[in-house]
C-alpha cells in the first residue's frame, strides 16, 4: 500500500505522552533516513516517458517532422486546440519560490524540489494528472507573476505551492484574474476545501445549521484566511466568525489595522467583515459560546489550553490541524467537552488532509478544459467530499486517501460545476465526466502497477518492500 498509516488505538493518558512523542520522533527519524537513502538510489521521484508507439524510425515522420507541421498549423489557427492535439490537456505546473516549504521556511527553490516532486507523485497516482515541478528563482511577486504567465501556453493549470504569506494571496488573486487556466494554491484552497467538507458532516451529526453557528479561526495564515472566505461562500455568516492571530482577535479598531490594510488587505477585509459583536482580546475571549473551533496555528500540544473548550457551546466541534503535533491532544479536547475532534494526522480519527482534494479537483478542471476555478467550485467540491461519507459518525467525517472512488466522483462534480458557471471549454454530463475521470485514473494506476510488476520501476534498494 502506497500510503500506509500507523493507528494507535490507545488513549493519551498521564505518563504515556513522553513515550508517544519519542515514538513519533523515532518514526520521523526513520522516514528521514529512508528518504535520503532512497532519493540517492532513485535520483528523483518522477520521469517523462513517451505515450505513443514507435514501431520504426518512419514513425518519427508522424510524431515529429514533417507530419508535426500540420498539427502546429492547426493549433496556430485556434490555440485552444492545444488542449486536444497535445498533452497540455492533462499537464499542470507546480510552481514555488521555496519561501515557505513545509515547516522548514525559506529554504530556496533547489531545496523545494524534493517536496514538489512528491506533490507531482500524488497528483499522478491519485488523479492521473501529469504534474511538472518547477521551483523558480525570483526576487519579487511581480517577477513570479511574469514567469507564471509566460508558462501558460504549456499547461492546463497551475498549482502554487509553499509560498510565504501574504505574498501567496497576491499571487493567487493576480494569476486567477489574469490567466485563462485554473490557478490553485493548495495551502489556501486545498486545506480550506477539506476543512469545509469535515465541518459540513460535523454539523450534520450535531444537528446545527451553517447560518447559525459561531466559528472561531485560531491562526490567520493562508489556510484559515482562505477557509473564512470559503465558509462565506458556503453560507456561513461573516458576523458569526472570529479570527485570532498572534496579536489577538481581529477587529476594526486594532492598532495595526492601517498597516494590515496596506500589507495584507485580505486579512484586513476579514477584520472589517467578521466579529459582528466586536469582541476583543485573545482566543479565550473569542471562544466563549462558539460552536466550532478551527485552529491552524503553531504545532504543539500546549499551543491551546484544552480547558477553553469548556467555554464553547454544547456539542462543540474542534479542528486542531497543526502538524506534526496538534495544538491540543484530541482526547483532552473531548474530556473538556468537544463532541467531534479532527486533526491533520492519520493516526487519529478524522484526518483533515488536502490530498483528498487537489488530485480530484485538478482531474475535474482539466477534463472540462476549465478557464478558472473559484469559491463556488470549491464549495461544490467540499459537498461532494462530505457526501461521499454516506453515514458520517463522530470518528468518520471525511473519507481517507485509500477510498479511490472519491477522486473520479470529485472530478465529475468539479467539472460539472465549471460547466454550470461558464468556465469550461468542454461540456459533458456529470455522468460523462465521471466515466472519463475514472477511466483516466484507473488506466494510469494500471500502468503504474504493470511497470512495478515488470521491474521497470525499480524495487527499493536490496529488493526491500515498504508498506
Domains of the chain (ranges, CATH numbers): 206-343 (3.40.50.720)
pLDDT band at 233 (very low <50, low <70, confident <90, very high): very high
Contact 205, 291 (CB under 8 A): no
pLDDT value at 342 more than 70: yes
pLDDT band at 24 (very low <50, low <70, confident <90, very high): low
pLDDT band at 6 (very low <50, low <70, confident <90, very high): very low
DSSP assignment of 284-339: HHHTTT-SEEEE----STTSS-GGGGGGSPSSEEEEE--SSS-SS-HHHHHHTTEE
pLDDT value at 251 more than 90: yes
- The proportion of the chain whose per-residue pLDDT surpasses 90, expressed as a percent, equals 81
At residue 55, the pLDDT reads 93
pLDDT band at 422 (very low <50, low <70, confident <90, very high): very high
User: Which cell numbers hold the place of 365?
Assistant: 478542471
Q: Looking at residues 267-286, what average pLDDT do you find?
A: 97
pTM of structure: 0.90
pLDDT value at 4 more than 50: no
Q: Which residues have C-beta within 8 Å of that of residue 3, sequence separation ≥ 6?
A: 401, 402
Q: Looking at residues 33-48, what average pLDDT do you find?
A: 85
Q: pLDDT digits over 399-421, tens only?
A: 999 999 999 999 999 999 999 99
pLDDT value at 28 more than 70: no
Q: pLDDT digits over 197-207, tens only?
A: 999 999 999 99
At residue 43, the pLDDT reads 86
Neighbouring C-beta atoms of residue 208, cutoff 10 Å: 18
Q: pLDDT digits over 436-450, tens only?
A: 999 999 999 999 999
Q: In angstroms, what CA-CA distances link 255 with 261, 262, 272, 277?
A: 12, 14, 13, 18
Q: 242: helix, coil or strand?
A: strand
Which of the 8 DSSP states describes residue 340?
E
pLDDT value at 286 more than 60: yes
pLDDT value at 11 more than 90: no
pLDDT value at 56 more than 90: yes
Out of 13-27, 50-64, 302-316, 327-341, which region has the weakest mean confidence (pLDDT)? 13-27
Q: Is 64 one of the catalytic residues?
A: yes
CA distance 216 to 41: 46
Q: Looking at residues 122-136, what average pLDDT do you find?
A: 96
Q: Looking at residues 255-282, what average pLDDT do you find?
A: 96
Q: Is 119 one of the catalytic residues?
A: yes
At residue 351, the pLDDT reads 96
Mean of all residue pLDDT scores within the chain:
91
Q: Which of 64, 239, 310, 458 is catalytic?
A: 64
CA distance 284 to 207: 25
Q: pLDDT digits over 371-402, tens only?
A: 999 999 999 999 999 999 999 999 999 999 99
pLDDT value at 281 more than 80: yes
Q: Looking at residues 347-364, what average pLDDT do you find?
A: 95
pLDDT value at 466 more than 80: no
Q: Looking at residues 170-184, what average pLDDT do you find?
A: 97
pLDDT band at 35 (very low <50, low <70, confident <90, very high): confident
Higher local confidence (pLDDT), 402 or 181: 181
pLDDT band at 104 (very low <50, low <70, confident <90, very high): confident
At residue 434, the pLDDT reads 98
Amino acid at each position: 500500500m502506497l500510503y500506509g498509516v500507523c493507528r494507535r488505538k490507545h488513549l493519551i493518558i498521564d505518563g504515556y505522552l513522553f513515550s508517544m512523542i519519542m515514538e513519533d520522533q523515532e518514526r520521523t527519524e526513520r522516514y528521514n533516513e529512508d528518504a535520503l537513502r532512497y532519493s540517492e538510489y532513485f535520483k528523483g521521484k518522477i520521469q517523462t516517458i513517451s505515450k505513443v508507439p514507435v514501431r520504426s524510425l518512419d514513425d518519427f515522420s508522424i510524431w515529429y517532422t514533417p507530419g508535426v507541421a500540420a498539427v502546429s498549423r492547426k493549433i496556430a489557427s485556434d490555440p485552444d486546440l492545444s488542449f486536444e492535439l497535445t498533452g497540455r490537456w492533462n499537464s499542470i505546473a507546480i510552481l514555488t519560490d521555496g519561501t515557505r516549504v513545509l515547516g522548514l521556511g525559506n529554504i530556496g527553490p533547489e531545496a523545494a524540489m524534493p517536496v514538489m516532486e512528491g506533490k507531482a507523485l500524488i497528483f499522478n497516482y491519485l488523479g492521473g494528472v501529469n504534474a511538472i515541478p518547477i521551483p523558480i528563482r525570483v526576487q519579487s511577486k511581480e517577477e513570479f507573476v511574469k514567469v507564471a504567465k509566460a508558462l501558460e501556453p504549456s499547461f492546463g493549470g497551475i498549482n502554487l505551492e509553499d509560498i510565504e504569506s501574504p505574498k501567496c494571496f497576491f499571487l493567487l488573486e493576480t494569476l486567477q484574474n489574469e490567466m485563462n487556466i485554473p490557478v490553485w494554491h493548495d495551502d489556501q484552497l486545498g486545506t480550506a476545501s477539506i476543512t469545509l467538507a469535515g465541518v459540513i458532516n460535523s454539523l450534520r451529526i450535531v444537528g446545527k445549521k451553517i447560518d447559525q453557528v459561531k466559528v472561531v479561526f485560531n491562526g490567520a495564515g493562508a489556510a484559515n484566511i482562505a477557509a473564512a472566505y470559503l465558509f462565506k461562500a458556503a453560507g456561513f455568516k461573516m458576523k458569526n466568525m472570529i479570527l485570532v492571530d498572534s496579536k489577538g482577535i481581529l477587529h476594526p479598531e486594532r492598532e495595526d489595522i492601517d498597516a494590515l490594510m496596506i500589507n495584507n488587505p485580505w486579512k484586513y477585509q476579514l477584520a472589517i467583515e467578521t466579529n459582528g459583536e466586536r469582541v476583543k482580546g485573545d482566543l479565550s475571549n473569542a471562544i466563549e459560546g462558539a460552536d466550532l473551533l478551527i485552529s491552524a496555528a503553531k504545532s504543539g500540544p500546549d499551543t491551546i489550553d484544552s480547558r477553553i473548550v469548556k467555554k464553547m457551546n454544547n456539542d462543540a466541534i474542534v479542528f486542531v490541524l497543526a502538524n506534526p503535533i496538534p495544538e491540543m491532544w484530541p482526547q483532552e479536547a473531548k474530556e473538556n467537552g468537544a463532541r467531534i475532534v479532527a486533526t491533520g494526522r492519520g493516526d487519529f480519527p478524522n484526518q483533515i488532509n488536502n490530498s483528498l482534494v487537489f488530485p480530484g479537483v485538478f482531474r475535474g478542471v482539466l477534463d472540462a478544459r476549465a478557464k478558472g476555478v473559484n469559491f463556488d467550485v470549491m464549495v461544490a467540491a467540499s459537498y461532494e467530499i462530505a457526501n461521499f461519507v454516506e453515514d458520517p459518525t463522530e470518528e468518520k467525517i471525511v473519507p481517507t486517501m485509500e477510498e479511490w472512488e472519491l477522486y473520479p466522483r470529485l472530478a465529475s462534480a468539479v467539472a460539472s460545476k465549471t460547466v454550470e458557471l461558464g468556465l469550461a471549454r468542454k461540456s459533458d454530463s456529470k455522468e460523462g465526466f465521471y466515466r472519463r475521470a475514472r477511466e483516466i485514473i484507473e488506466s494510469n494506476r494500471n500502468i503504474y502497477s504493470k511497470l512495478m510488476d515488470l521491474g521497470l520501476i525499480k524495487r527499493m534498494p536490496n529488493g526491500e518492500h515498504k508498506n
